[in-house]
Every structure is written in C-alpha cells, then in structure tokens.
Amino acid sequence: MVSPERLLAFCAMAAVIIIVPGPSVLFVVGRALAHGRRTALTSVLGNEAGALLLAAAVALGVGSLVAESALLFTAVKLVGAAYLVYLGVQALRHRRKLTEALGEADASGGGRRAFWQGLLVGLTNPKTSVFFAAVLPQFVDRDAGRIPLQMALFGLVFCVIALFFDGMWGMLAASARTWFARSPRRLAMVGGTGGLMMIGLGVTVAATGRKD
C-alpha cells in the first residue's frame, strides 16, 4: 500500500522534526524534572496517544477543519495552553515536597492520572494537528487508493518515532533530577524549573500561531 521509499522518506523527515526540542520535549522534560521518571514516561505514552488520535482525526478529515478555521484553531490552542500553565503552577506549588515524594513518584509515577494529563496535552496541541494536516497528504500515494488508511499509517509511524525520542528526553531529565535529589534545596529548584518550563511553554503556545 505504501512504498518503502515513501515510508523511509517520511521516517527521515519525522525523525528530524522530533529530535529538535519542541513543545512535546519541553512538556516531557518539565514533567520529569517536577515529578520523576515514571510520571515522565507515562506522560509520554499519553502524549503520543493524543497525537495518534489527532492523526486519526486528520486521516478522517477533521484535522483540516482545525487547519482552515482560525476560530477552532485558536480555541484548541488556548485550551492546551491553559492546561500547560495549570500543570506548571501545580509543580511550582509542590516543589518543596519533592524530597519526600521522590521515592513515591519514581515508584508509582502518577499512573493513570499522568497518562490522561499527557493525553490532554497531546490532543490540544494545535501544531501537531496542523503538521499532520499539512504534511501527511504529501506522502500519500493517491494511485494506490485507501488514502485515509495511508495517512493513518504515517501518523502511527510518527507517533512511534516520537515515543522513542521523547522517552529518551524523559529518561535523561529524570536522571538529572535524581542527581539533584541529593540536596533538598537543589531538588526544590529543579522542581520549580520544571514548573516554569511548563508555564513558559503554555504562554508560548498561546502567543504563537495563526492570528487570522
């Protein structure tokens, strides 16, 4: 259905885009610094699940509506931005409790809650839906038919690659957090840094993008 050449070309392009730190990476690093490895990796799973749902929506034509409608684009963008700021504020509020919570966070990782938080962030990332809507059709072989299925496949491949690289960012950030845990003051500082990163990311998402 999809030629190996097209698939390899898409994988190369997707890898380049994903490797460069962007909103997803900042979100994962912020979660790792504020809450630990388990929460970060669970958030990665949720984030990529949200991106996968966006890819399915684009394949079915919903993503193009977000790309073409300034009102819908702005609404989705602001919901995602507000939620990121909320998560950042929560991380700042509880930064001094990180020393006691470090063992628990690494053991339980927030579980289901962290996954759903990541899912919401992934779903409300308008840049991802616009990227899918703009890029996926360029790799579709229209002569092969089953266009929605082809687009869904490319979206799945993108999410698998993102899962790998975002997970690596989360592991690296969590390792740095463990080193900071040797000092309660440093750990509080790194927890605050994670919170500030998420707040900054939310503000950036709200302030950028189309304004038409």
Give the pLDDT confidence score for residue 207 in this predicted structure: 76
Q: Which of 195, 191, 199, 184 is nearest to 36 (CA)?
A: 191
Average pLDDT of the segment spanning 110-117: 80
Give the confidence band of 100 by pLDDT, cuts at 50, 70, 90. very low
Cβ-defined contacts of 69-75 (< 8 Å, 24+): 70/210, 70/211, 70/212, 73/126, 73/130, 73/209, 73/210, 74/209, 74/210
What's the whole-number average pLDDT of the chain? 75
pLDDT digits (tens, 9 = 90+) for 119-138: 988 887 766 776 677 677 77
pLDDT score of 211 more than 70: no
Give the pLDDT confidence score for residue 46 in this predicted structure: 93
Helix-helix angle 147-180:4-19, to 10 degrees: 30
**Nearby residues of 13 by Cβ (< 8 Å), 6 or more positions away:** 135
- The SS3 call for residue 94 is coil
Residue 31: CA atoms inside 13 Å, Cβ hemisphere, count?
Answer: 33
pLDDT score of 210 more than 80: no
pLDDT score of 19 more than 90: no
Give the pLDDT confidence score for residue 160 in this predicted structure: 94
Give the pLDDT confidence score for residue 90 in this predicted structure: 72
- Asked if residue 38 lies in contact with residue 110, where contact means CB atoms within 8 angstroms, the answer is yes
The structural domains of the chain, ordered by start, are 4-8+23-207 (1.20.1250)
Name the pTM for this structure: 0.68
Residue 177 CB coordination number (10 Å) = 27
